[in-house]
Amino acid sequence: MSIGILGGGQLGYMLALAGYPLGLRFRFLDPSPEAPVGRIAPRVTGDFTDRAALEKFAHGLEVVTYEFENVPVDTVHFLAKKVSVFPPPRALETAQDRLREKELFEKLGIATTEFASVPVAYDLDSTVKKVGLPAVLKTRRMGYDGKGQWVLRTAEDVKIAKDGLPKQPFTVERFVPFTRELSVIAVRGKAGETAFYPLVENHHRNGILRLSLAPAPGVAPEIQKAAEDAARQVLEALNYVGVLAIEFFECDGKLLANEMAPRVHNSGHWTIEGAVTSQFENHLRAICGLPLGSTTAIGASAMINLIGEVPESVQVLAIPSAHLHLYGKEPRPGRKLGHVTLRAASFEQLTSRFLSLPGFFQRPDFCLDGTGRKSKSPGA
Ligand code: AMP
pTM: 0.94
* 74 and 21 within one domain: yes
Q: What is the pLDDT of residue 374?
A: 39
Q: What is the pLDDT of residue 144?
A: 62
CA distances from 169 to 124, 183, 363 (A): 11, 27, 38
Per-residue pLDDT of the chain (380 residues; tens, 9 = 90+): 999 999 999 999 999 999 999 999 999 999 999 999 999 999 999 999 999 999 999 999 999 999 999 999 999 999 999 999 999 999 999 999 999 999 999 999 999 999 999 877 667 888 888 899 999 999 898 766 666 788 999 989 888 888 887 778 899 999 999 999 999 999 999 999 999 999 999 998 888 899 999 999 999 999 999 999 999 999 999 999 999 999 999 999 999 999 999 999 999 999 999 999 999 999 999 999 999 999 999 999 999 999 999 999 998 999 889 999 999 999 999 899 999 999 999 999 998 887 778 777 776 555 444 344 433 333 32
* 64 and 190 within one domain: no
Ligand 1 centroid to Cα of residue 173, in Å, is 9
Which structural domain range is residue 142 located in?
114-174
Other C-beta atoms lying within 10 Å of the C-beta of residue 77:
13
CATH of the domain at 141: 3.30.1490.20
* 330 and 208 within one domain: yes
Ligand 1 centroid to Cα of residue 82, in Å, is 38
Ligand 1 centroid to Cα of residue 206, in Å, is 10
* 149 and 189 within one domain: no
In a domain, residue 143? The reply is yes
CATH of the domain at 10: 3.40.50.20
Tell which of 174, 189, 214 closes a domain. Answer: 174
Ligand 1 centroid to Cα of residue 207, in Å, is 7
* 316 and 194 within one domain: yes
**pLDDT tens, residue by residue, 282-300:** 999 999 999 999 999 999 9
* 145 and 65 within one domain: no
Residues with beta carbon inside 6 Å of ligand 1? 113, 136, 143, 146, 173, 175-176, 181, 204, 207, 247, 258-259, 378-379
- Residues near 78 by beta carbon (within 8 Å), at least 6 away in sequence: 51, 54
Tell which of 70, 85, 100 closes a domain. Answer: 85
Q: Which of 99, 112, 136 to mutate to test the pocket of ligand 1 (most atoms within 8 A of CB)?
A: 136
**pLDDT tens, residue by residue, 250-268:** 999 999 999 999 999 999 9
Ligand 1 centroid to Cα of residue 251, in Å, is 13
* 290 and 203 within one domain: yes
Please state the φ and ψ torsions of residue 150, each to the nearest 5 degrees: -140, 135
Ligand 1 centroid to Cα of residue 123, in Å, is 23
CA distance 268 to 280: 9
> What residue's CA is closest to ligand 1, atom 12?
379
> What residue's CA is closest to ligand 1, atom 14?
379
Q: Which atom of ligand 1 is nearest to the CA of 177?
A: 21
In a domain, residue 106? The reply is no
> What residue's CA is closest to ligand 1, atom 11?
379
Letter for the amino acid at 154?
T
CATH of the domain at 232: 3.30.470.20
* 329 and 262 within one domain: yes
In a domain, residue 270? The reply is yes
In a domain, residue 71? The reply is yes
In the chain, at which residue ranges do the beta strands (DSSP E only) sit?
2-6, 25-30, 43-45, 63-66, 84-85, 115-118, 135-139, 149-152, 170-174, 180-188, 194-196, 200-205, 208-214, 242-251, 254-261, 300-307, 322-326, 336-344
Total of domains in the chain:
3
Ligand 1 centroid to Cα of residue 139, in Å, is 12
In a domain, residue 370? The reply is no
Q: Which of 69, 249, 374, 377 to mutate to test the pocket of ligand 1 (most atoms within 8 A of CB)?
A: 249
